Amino acid sequence: MATGLTNRLQQAWRMLRELSGDDAYERYLAHRAAHHAESEALSRGEYFRRCEQEKWQGVRRCC
Protein backbone atom coordinates (compact mmCIF):
# COMPACT_ATOMS: atom_id res chain seq x y z
CA MET A 1 0.00 0.00 0.00
CA ALA A 2 2.63 2.46 1.12
CA THR A 3 5.02 1.45 -1.65
CA GLY A 4 2.17 1.84 -4.19
CA LEU A 5 1.66 5.40 -3.04
CA THR A 6 5.39 6.12 -3.04
CA ASN A 7 5.64 4.77 -6.57
CA ARG A 8 2.77 6.96 -7.69
CA LEU A 9 4.36 10.03 -6.13
CA GLN A 10 7.70 9.22 -7.70
CA GLN A 11 6.05 8.78 -11.08
CA ALA A 12 4.23 12.12 -10.69
CA TRP A 13 7.50 13.80 -9.74
CA ARG A 14 9.23 12.33 -12.80
CA MET A 15 6.36 13.56 -14.99
CA LEU A 16 6.62 17.05 -13.51
CA ARG A 17 10.37 17.13 -14.04
CA GLU A 18 10.05 15.97 -17.63
CA LEU A 19 7.16 18.33 -18.38
CA SER A 20 9.01 21.35 -17.05
CA GLY A 21 12.31 20.39 -18.66
CA ASP A 22 14.00 20.07 -15.27
CA ASP A 23 15.49 16.68 -16.23
CA ALA A 24 16.39 17.71 -19.81
CA TYR A 25 20.11 17.50 -19.09
CA GLU A 26 19.90 13.98 -17.67
CA ARG A 27 17.91 12.88 -20.73
CA TYR A 28 20.49 14.53 -22.95
CA LEU A 29 23.31 12.62 -21.22
CA ALA A 30 21.38 9.36 -21.59
CA HIS A 31 20.80 10.06 -25.28
CA ARG A 32 24.51 10.78 -25.81
CA ALA A 33 25.56 7.68 -23.95
CA ALA A 34 23.29 5.62 -26.19
CA HIS A 35 24.07 7.23 -29.55
CA HIS A 36 27.19 9.39 -29.54
CA ALA A 37 29.37 8.00 -26.77
CA GLU A 38 32.57 8.93 -28.65
CA SER A 39 32.38 12.75 -28.46
CA GLU A 40 32.42 14.92 -25.36
CA ALA A 41 29.10 16.03 -23.87
CA LEU A 42 28.21 19.66 -23.13
CA SER A 43 28.15 20.84 -19.53
CA ARG A 44 24.81 21.40 -17.84
CA GLY A 45 25.05 25.16 -18.26
CA GLU A 46 26.10 25.01 -21.92
CA TYR A 47 23.36 22.54 -22.71
CA PHE A 48 20.70 24.67 -21.02
CA ARG A 49 21.80 27.79 -22.89
CA ARG A 50 21.74 26.03 -26.25
CA CYS A 51 18.25 24.62 -25.61
CA GLU A 52 16.82 28.00 -24.66
CA GLN A 53 18.31 29.63 -27.73
CA GLU A 54 16.92 26.95 -30.05
CA LYS A 55 13.51 26.85 -28.41
CA TRP A 56 12.73 30.48 -29.15
CA GLN A 57 13.68 30.45 -32.84
CA GLY A 58 10.16 29.48 -33.95
CA VAL A 59 6.50 29.94 -33.08
CA ARG A 60 6.19 28.68 -29.51
CA ARG A 61 3.27 30.65 -28.16
CA CYS A 62 -0.22 31.34 -29.42
CA CYS A 63 -2.87 33.88 -28.84
Separation of alpha carbons 54 and 24, rounded Å = 14
Q: How far is the CB of 58 from another protein (least distance, A)?
A: 6
Site string for another protein, 4-43 (x = CB under 8 A): -----------xxxxxxxx-xx-xx--xx--x-------x
Give dist(CA 26, CA 1) in Å, integer.
30
Tell me if 44 sits within 8 A of 25, measured CB to CB: yes
Where along the sequence are the contacts to another protein (CB under 8 A)? 15-22, 24-25, 27-28, 31-32, 35, 43-45, 47-49, 51-63
